[in-house]
Amino acid sequence: MAAETVDTAAAAAHRPGSVRVHVRAALRRAAPALALFAAVRCAGVLCAALWAWHTGRHPRNLLGATWDSNWYLGVARYGYGSPAPHHMWPPDHLADLAFFPLYPGLIRGVSAVLPVGALNAGLLLAWTASAVAAWGIFAVGAHLYGRRAGTFLVVLWALLPHAVIESLSYTEPLLTALAAWALYALLTDRPLWAGALAVLAGLARPNGLAVAAAVMVAAAVRMTAAGRTWRRGCDLERPVLRRARPLWPYWAAALIAPAGWLGYVLWVGARTGAGPRGYFRVQEIWGSRFDFGRDTLRSVKRLFLHNEPLVQHLAAAVVAVAILLLVLLVLDRPPLPLLAYTAVLVVMALGGTGYFPSKPRFLLPAFPLLVPAAVALARARPRSVVLATGSLAVLSLGYGVYLLAMAPLPL
């Protein structure tokens, strides 16, 4: 009877229009979370716009042409190897190879189809990616912990102190969208979709490699589980054994998952003429290496010895909270692919040299870190929820304006 039910459901899923029906149902289920996310981010954009008008700047330029956004726009408009935008540091003709190609490629494609220009196309893509990311975050949270926890997971992601990044022409929203849906695909046994999304994530950002790690861990878990089932079920009847899911989709997903990241790294090596080390030499132009966190520890030490700006202190606070949340996530024993993705992101963010104020931005795609807090809010009393989210909203909106318009260091 159970097998008949599964077969009937599988047949229904392949009927014409069924995919559209499922998407609409999923969107309706996520609608409250997406509405809250949109309200928070619209408030953030409004605060940034008001400050831009107050200082005589155009809000669009403040949101769409800030720091790294100019590099992505330069690649989208002129390709790799163009002069540094606005004489930004470093003035090396190889410097823009540090910026992965998916986002500037999408900007070029959208601006070619729509008469909006590269800057507006970048903002349109970033805001769309943020919304898709919020939907994927809800899908993961609701699947594992229930609809209420999924909603709070989205709200917390929207209320991070550095959540202003979700409204800028940066690649973190794009990576988060790809990662969230890849993780959801793994959790719902769709490995090929997860592998394809991991390829795109590897073309979006260097730490997109974390998505590939999650896919490979999921494949290893499935292989191990299949081996145990086979050893325990050698005496089972053939009809039962035939119903086992094939393993080849997981093998295929694990093989293709790192292809995007690896392909771009090898292409940069060929472009620079330095072989496989070419990409890492480009990163060294920016002063970026992997030193297992020694530079991060030195940056924290400087906070106690020197008078550092606010952005440095809050970055240290975010890093400390992230480590604590990672410990709580481990204790919660989430699915291994989710844990692998989060751990790789944290290690890559904290283990790299330089750009200490940017560590919170590098951690932005690590939304599973917020799971313990989201589950706690889902169980909390309404008064506690209002107090916690209200305090986070004041911090996020206020600090977002400071980070974008007043901080002396780049995002």
pLDDT digits (tens, 9 = 90+) for 141-161: 999 999 999 999 999 999 999
Q: Output the pLDDT for position 242.
A: 42
For the question of whether the overall pTM of this predicted structure is more than 0.75, the answer is yes
> In 273-405, which residue ranges form alpha helices assigned H by DSSP?
278-285, 294-305, 310-332, 336-351, 359-362, 371-379, 382-401
Tokens representing residue 366 in the block: 């690590």
Burial 313-335 (b: 16+ CB within 10 A, else e): ebbbebbeebeebbeebeeeebb
> In 159-242, which residue ranges form alpha helices assigned H by DSSP?
172-187, 191-204, 209-232, 238-242
Across the range 183-211, mean pLDDT stands at: 97
Amino acid, res. 225: A
What is the per-residue DSSP string for 80-131? Answer: TTPPPGGGPSP--TTGGGGS-SHHHHHHHHHHHHSTTHHHHHHHHHHHHHHH
Q: Please list the residues that pair with 352 across neighbouring strands.
A: 290
Tokens representing residue 88 in the block: 């930004």
Q: Which residue has the tokens 């050893």?
A: 231
**CB 138, CB 19: distance < 8 Å:** no
**CB 46, CB 38: distance < 8 Å:** no
Share of the chain above pLDDT 70, in %: 89
Across the range 107-134, mean pLDDT stands at: 96
Residue 253 CB contacts under 8 Å (≥ 6 apart), including other chains: 191, 192, 194, 195, 198, 215, 218, 219
Q: Output the pLDDT for position 410.
A: 75
pLDDT per residue over 248-297, tens digit each? 999 999 999 999 999 999 999 999 998 889 999 999 988 889 999 999 99
Q: How confident is the model at residue 236 (pLDDT cuts 50, 70, 90)?
A: very low
